[in-house]
Amino acid sequence: MTQAATAAAGVVTLAVEAATPDALAAFGRVLGRTADVKPVPVDFYKGRVLMRYPVDFACEHPVDISLATVDTRPPEVRYMERHFQHTQTFIPLAGKPFVVVMAPPSDGDLPDLSQARAFLFDGSAGFTLHLGTWHEFPFAVEDATDVVVILSSQTGYDLHQRDAVTEEAFGPDLDKKDIQGRTGTLIRFAQPAARA
């Protein structure tokens, strides 16, 4: 178990850490201004427009761009999912922070919960997941947090195939598992305070 997590009676409690490029490296890439991504000028604008390419987005199906409005909810992770056919991207709007719980990609049927981490995104940048990164949907720190989600259209089809009893879903792109039901472990984290 990582130093950031403690376990007690079927509960893993994660420390919430800042979503820096180094901290996020095993899970995905920060989508924002980072020192390791140098800008390229667009010639038509005499250096007044700089382009950066901080992430590689991959998808085997048509891409959906959606807007999720997320309210606060209990800081508990029962389900985690991963994607096999696209590198899902989340981009916050209006500078509102959110927390994402992730575990690195794995060859097994379940995430390695000893590697799970909770990341606080301060609202200034988003992220793109590596293929296969286990994650739960972002947890808002403030109600009405808008997040642009770029994902495969296949994900929606796969979610509609969810099991009526377990509520797990599986398809060509999506593998969504009831982590608590399968392992007896509930993941929690301390909810950061909302901005004043």
Confidence band of 1 (pLDDT split at 50, 70, 90): very low
- pLDDT per residue over 131-175, tens digit each? 999 999 999 999 999 999 999 999 988 998 899 899 999 999 999
Domain boundaries, the chain: 5-189
Residue pair 146/92 in contact by the 8 Å Cβ criterion: yes
Mean pLDDT of 101-129: 96
- pLDDT per residue over 69-86, tens digit each? 999 999 999 999 999 999
User: What does the DSSP 8-state code read for residue 48?
Assistant: S
Residue pair 112/105 in contact by the 8 Å Cβ criterion: no
Mean pLDDT of 50-63: 86
Beta-carbon-side half-sphere exposure of residue 91 (alpha carbons within 13 Å): 12
3-state secondary structure at position 30: strand
CA-based R_g, the chain, Å? 17
CA distance 78 to 117: 14
- pLDDT per residue over 28-46, tens digit each? 999 888 777 788 877 788 7
Mean pLDDT of 111-117: 96
pTM, to two decimals = 0.88
CATH architecture of 5-189: Sandwich (2.60)
- pLDDT per residue over 90-105, tens digit each? 999 999 999 999 999 9
Residue 170 to residues 27, 61, 82, 86, 147, Cα–Cα distance (Å):
21, 16, 10, 15, 24
CA distance 184 to 182: 6
3-state secondary structure at position 156: helix
